[in-house]
Each structure stands twice: as C-alpha cells, then as structure tokens.
A and B are shown apart, each in its own frame.
Chain A
Amino acid sequence: MTRVIGTFVLGILISCTGCLSGVDKELMSMRQAVVANEQLYGAAAMKFADGADQMAGMKHTLQRDLLGERTVTWVKDHTKDGIVTATPAEINTMLVQRDAAYRQLGESESVWRTTVSDFRRLVADKMALSAAVYAREENAQRAKESLAAATDSLTKGLVGAASAAAVVVPLMLP
C-alpha cells in the first residue's frame, strides 16, 4: 500500500516537473521574442537618430547660408558704385557680429554632434544590456534544466536503491 502511494506521489511530482519545464520553455521563448523585438526597436531608434541628424544638418546648413547671405547683404548695403562706404568702425562691428554668429553655429554643431553620438551610444548600450541580461537568463535556464535532470536521475537511483534495500532489510531483521 505504502509503495502504491509512494509511486503515485512520485508520479505526480514528475508530472509537475514536466509541467514546470513547459512553462520555463514558454517563458524563454517569450524572452527571446522580446530580445528580437528590442533589436527592431534599436534599429528604429538608430534610424530616428539618422533622421534627426539629417534635420540638424539642414538646420546648420540653413544657418550657414543665412550668415553668408547676410554678409552679402551687408556688403551691398555698404557699397556704392563699387566703393565701400562703411567706416572702419562699422566694418569692425560687422566682423565681430559675424564671428560671434559663426561661433554660435560652431557651438550648435558641436552640441548636436555630442547629442546624436550620445543617443546612438545609449541605444547600443541598451541593446548590449538586454543581450547581457538574456545571456544570464539562458545560463539560469540551463542550470535549472541541469539540476532538474540530476534530480530526475537521483529519483530514479533512489527508487532502484529502495527496491534493493527492500530485499536486504527484512534479512537484517531478527
């Protein structure tokens, strides 16, 4: 009777382990799908960075073109019949203002280069973190499966040992 109950309990335990491994398998499959999805997100984010970079490039080109046009306009406004009418002070003021404007343009380009580069690095680092976490999940799953297999072997071994002991123990009794 005890053996029947023991076998029944063991059967339930083994079945439960089987069910759990099914859940684990589905979980890992879901994680894998999420990682693949994150790769798509990473690709989209990089494309967005490309688009933003293009827009920022257009902004800086427009800014540079405007400064060029403003220079031409200033020269036209200060020239009459091919002769420059501006005073040295006016020319100096214009050069100072123009240099400041170009400096501002340079700063804007530099800030953008840093920003877009940081964004791309952030996306790459996020992908790397996801890959590192997923690698850990895979390792954990492998370790769990290995322990489950070892426990399964142990259960079978114990069943064998119990049947051998069942023969020996009565002989040892007085």
Chain B
Amino acid sequence: MAEDRNIFDLGPAAGPIDSTAFQAAKEAWYTDRNRINEEVLPKIDRAIAEVESWSNVVNNLVALIGTLVPLVQTLATRADTTKATLTEAKNTCEALNVLKNLLQR
C-alpha cells in the first residue's frame, strides 16, 4: 500500500557516517601515546639526567686536576731543589769525614 511507504526514509545514506574503525584506531593510538608518555619518556628523562650528572662529576674531576697539577709542579721544583741541597750536604759531610780522618792521623 502506498500509504504504508515511509517517504522520509532516505535509506542507508541517512545514517551517520560510520566512524567505528576510526574510533578503534584512535583509541589504539591514545593507548600507545599514554604508554609512551608514562613509561618511555620518563626513562629518557632519567637517562638524560644521569648523563648530565656524569658531566658534573667529570667537570669536578677536571677542576680537581686543575688544582692539583700546579701543586705537583711546585712539588717537583721543590723536590729538585731539596735533592740538590741534600747532595750538597752529603758532599760536605764526606769532605768533613775526609778532613776528620786526616786530622786523626
């Protein structure tokens, strides 16, 4: 019967555009994005902080070496002088011993 026909029924074209697959893909992407934000990025941040911390340690070592090297150089100069003085004193003592032996005769 013509009266039973629904003239406002526009068929499948009237329905909403099917976005089920898109919604599923979107959910998968956000799940993965959240995993990256919660697990991967903090790990990277920690690793970066560790490398920065090591840089500080190495820089402190560099500063320490910078302080120690002049001291060692000074020590080398003084040790050299002391050695020369000791050699001179030793020579003097030996000369005195020779003189003493001569006098004792």
Residues on A facing B (Cβ under 8 Å): 56, 59, 63, 66-67, 70, 73-74, 90, 93-94, 97-98, 100-101, 104-105, 107-108, 110-112, 114-115, 118-119, 122, 125-126, 129, 132-133, 136, 139-140, 143-144, 146-147, 149-151, 153-154, 157-158, 160-161, 164-165, 167-168, 171-172
Q: Is the CB of A164 within 8 A of B19?
A: no
Contact residue among B7, B48, B72 (Cβ-Cβ distance under 8 Å from A143): B48
Expressed in whole angstroms, the Cα–Cα distance for A153 and B76 within the complex equals 23
In the complex, B62 has a CB within 8 A of chain A: yes
Question: Chain B residues with Cβ under 8 A from A171's Cβ?
Answer: 76, 79-80, 83
Question: Chain B residues with Cβ under 8 A from A146's Cβ?
Answer: 51-52, 55
Residues on B facing A (Cβ under 8 Å): 3, 6-10, 13-17, 19, 22-23, 26, 29-30, 33, 36-37, 41, 44-45, 47-48, 51-52, 54-55, 58-59, 61-62, 65-66, 68-69, 72-73, 75-76, 79-80, 83
Q: How far is the CB of A101 from the nearest CB of chain B, in Å?
A: 4
Q: Is the CB of B68 within 8 A of A70?
A: no
Q: Is the CB of A70 within 8 A of B7?
A: yes
Q: Is the CB of A129 within 8 A of B36?
A: yes
Q: Is the CB of A151 within 8 A of B58?
A: yes
Q: Is the CB of A101 within 8 A of B19?
A: no
Q: Is the CB of B10 within 8 A of A122?
A: no
Q: How far is the CB of B70 from the nearest CB of chain A, in Å?
A: 8
Expressed in whole angstroms, the Cα–Cα distance for A139 and B46 within the complex equals 11
